[in-house]
Amino acid sequence: MVYDPLIPYNDLPELPPKKEIETIPVLKRVVSAGRALAELKGLGETLPDQNILVNSIILQEARTSSEIENIITTNDALFRALSASSQVGVDPATKEVLRYREALWTGFHDLKNRPVLSTNVFVHIVNTIKQDQAGIRTMPGTVIGNAATGETIYTPPDGEDVIRRKLHNLEEYIHAFDGPDPLVRMAVSHYQFEAIHPFADGNGRTGRIISILYLVQESLLDLPVLFLSRYIIKNKGEYYRLLRQVTEAHEWEPWILYMLEAVETTADYTRRRILDIRELITRTMDAVRNDLPKIYTKELVELLFKHPYTKVEFLVDAGIAQRQTAAAYLRDLEGMGVLKSTRIGRENFFLNVSLYDLLSRP
Ligand X SMILES: Nc1ncnc2c1ncn2[C@@H]1O[C@H](COP(=O)(O)OP(=O)(O)O)[C@@H](O)[C@H]1O
Choose between 197 and 271: whose C-beta lies nearer to Mg ion.
197
Choose between 56 and 66: whose C-beta lies nearer to Mg ion.
66
Binding ligand X (rule: CB under 6 A), the pick from 33, 37, 117, 144 is 144
Residues that contact ligand X, how many (by CB under 6 A): 17
Distance CA 184, CA 189 (A): 8
Choose between 71 and 338: whose C-beta lies nearer to ligand X.
71
- Sign, CA dihedral 286-290-293-295, equals negative
Rounded to a whole number of angstroms, the minimum distance from the CB of residue 241 to ligand X is 9
Residues that contact Mg ion, how many (by CB under 5 A): 2
Choose between 200 and 336: whose C-beta lies nearer to Mg ion.
200
Window of 37-45, 114-122, 195-203, 309-317 that interacts with ligand X by CB under 6 A? 195-203
Residue 240 binds which one of ligand X, Mg ion, none, with CB within 5 to 8 A depending on kind?
Answer: ligand X
Choose between 191 and 199: whose C-beta lies nearer to Mg ion.
199
Give the CB-side neighbour count of residue 186, counting CA atoms within 13 A.
Answer: 28
Rounded to a whole number of angstroms, the minimum distance from the CB of residue 192 to ligand X is 9
Rounded to a whole number of angstroms, the minimum distance from the CB of residue 36 to ligand X is 23
Question: Per-residue string for binding with ligand X, 77-96, x by CB under 6 A?
Answer: --------------------
Q: Judged by CB under 5 A, does residue 67 bind Mg ion?
A: no
Q: Is cis: bond before 16, omega within 30 of 0?
A: yes
Q: How many CB atoms lie within 10 A of CB 181?
A: 18
Q: Judged by CB under 6 A, does residue 252 bind ligand X?
A: no
Query: Quick one: residue 31, left, alpha or beta (phi over 0 = left, psi -120 to 50 = alpha)?
Result: alpha
Within residues 93-132, the interface with ligand X by CB under 6 A covers none
Rounded to a whole number of angstroms, the minimum distance from the CB of residue 203 to Mg ion is 7
Rounded to a whole number of angstroms, the minimum distance from the CB of residue 244 to ligand X is 4
Residue 203 binds which one of ligand X, Mg ion, none, with CB within 5 to 8 A depending on kind?
Answer: ligand X
Q: Judged by CB under 5 A, does residue 218 bind Mg ion?
A: no
Rounded to a whole number of angstroms, the minimum distance from the CB of residue 201 to Mg ion is 5
Residue 207 binds which one of ligand X, Mg ion, none, with CB within 5 to 8 A depending on kind?
Answer: ligand X
Binding Mg ion (rule: CB under 5 A), the pick from 67, 69, 238, 253 is 69
Within residues 151-170, the interface with ligand X by CB under 6 A covers 153-154
190-210 CB burial, b ≥16 within 10 A, e <16: bbbbbbbbbbbbbbbbbbbbb
Binding region for ligand X (CB under 6 A): 68-69, 144, 153-154, 194-195, 201-205, 207, 240, 243-244, 247
Binding residues for Mg ion, per CB under 5 A?
Answer: 69, 201
